[in-house]
Amino acid sequence: MEEAEPDQRGREVVQPAVNLPAALFTDQYGRRHRSLRISIIDKCQLRCTYCMPAQGLPWLPPAKLLRVAEISRLARIAHAGGVRDFRITGGEPLIRRDVCEIVREIATLGTAEDPIDLALTTNAVLLDKFAKDLKDAGLSRINVSLDTLRPERFKKLTLRDQLGRVFAGLASAKEVGLFPIKLNTLLMPGVNEDEILDLVDYARREGFELRFIEQMPLGNNPWNGSTIITQVEILEKIAEKHVLTEVPGRGSAPAATWYVDGGPQKIGVIASVTRPFCGGCDRLRLTADGMLRTCLFSDRETDLVTPLRSGASDLEIAQLMGLAVHEKEPGHLIGKAGFKLPKRGMSAIGG
Ligand code: SF4
């Protein structure tokens, strides 16, 4: 086991798991992967109709879920391979009681000289209970999924009357200083596109960074590419009331962003369907049952949990990850011949 040494802030920093060549997480198209999304559970307490059926899904049994030490070890190996952005997702990650322990473990990977970005995506229903502990554990920022500001519509969309809890969670996150707070809003035709301007105003009032998401063929929704609300339509709607100025230097970020009325407020659009951004993709995903996915829409998965639980070394696991990354597909095939719906739904991949 590696010796832990205190960094300048006196926090214990575990030495890198293994020294890895920087190119290990670079794929055959030259994309270097610096971002790892870690799904820590597939379960969720909401029933968003576009994500899962009302009765829920056959959840992973607890024994199949990666344990805190296993998540920590895989994060350390990824860090040694150059990953600096970590995002904790679900299902709903706050359902796992040890979520703060997981945050604390991953947070030790960052130092003042070589920081990491550690974020968490949540539906915020339990956030008012966890916000302070997450912040104390080392969480930097938070993404909250919020598709409507209307209680009745929220209840219809999620089959739960919990919008008040979401607002309470957002208020707690703000209070404890998680920043920035990003809102992810999935726009669905005939469902919530009439709230675009309300959501922009709400985000401005609260100081949140709002991102609209084009609906993708994932999960429990009868997707039809010709009916989605596109980036062009979203920007046209916002431009009815606001001046938008594109923010330069997007890098590998999924969202393109615009200043609203000269800023500082920004809005973003994640336009996976009409403006795919696979060419700059630097994201890897780890599922709650220990499979490495190199793409949201790929069905190719690399089993890391079996070698992890049968004594493989950090280097052996890193090599498995490196091989998977190297073979990563160029991008999704949405709307093209050969597109296949992934076997796993969004709740089991973790967005
Ligand atoms: S669809 Fe796959 S390759 Fe494209 S941006 Fe998403 S994860 Fe990356």
Ligand 1 pocket check for 256: Cβ under 6 Å: no
* pLDDT exceeds 60 at position 229: yes
Pocket test for ligand 1, best of 34, 85, 295, 301 (most atoms within 8 A of CB): 295
* pLDDT exceeds 50 at position 270: yes
Rounded average pLDDT over 171-199: 97
Ligand 1 pocket check for 332: Cβ under 6 Å: yes
pTM beyond cutoff 0.75:
yes
Rounded average pLDDT over 309-323: 96
* pLDDT exceeds 90 at position 20: no
Ligand 1 pocket check for 295: Cβ under 6 Å: yes
76-109 residue pLDDT tens = 999 999 999 999 999 999 999 999 999 999 999 9
* pLDDT exceeds 50 at position 73: yes
Ranked by mean pLDDT, the top range of 3-7, 9-13, 117-121, 340-344 is 117-121
Closest residue CA from atom 2 of ligand 1: 295
* pLDDT exceeds 60 at position 14: no
Q: Which atom of ligand 1 is nearest to the CA of 277?
A: 5
- Look up residue 26 and give its DSSP letter: B
**pLDDT grade, residue 18 (50/70/90)?**
low
Ligand 1 pocket check for 297: Cβ under 6 Å: yes
What pLDDT score does 249 carry? 85
Q: Which atom of ligand 1 is nearest to the CA of 328?
A: 3
DSSP string, 243-254: -EEEPS--TT-S
Helix-strand-coil percent breakdown of the chain, rounded to 5?
30, 20, 50
CB hemisphere CA count around 69 (13 angstroms): 3
* pLDDT exceeds 80 at position 12: no
Ligand 1 pocket check for 252: Cβ under 6 Å: no
Closest residue CA from atom 5 of ligand 1: 278
Average pLDDT value for the chain: 92
Q: Which atom of ligand 1 is nearest to the CA of 280?
A: 5
Rounded average pLDDT over 162-176: 98
DSSP string, 180-226: -EEEEEE--TTTTGGGHHHHHHHHHHHT-EEEEE---S-SSS---TT
Cα of 281 vs centre of ligand 1, distance in Å, is 6
Cα of 296 vs centre of ligand 1, distance in Å, is 6
Q: Which atom of ligand 1 is nearest to the CA of 298?
A: 2
* pLDDT exceeds 70 at position 56: yes
* pLDDT exceeds 60 at position 269: yes
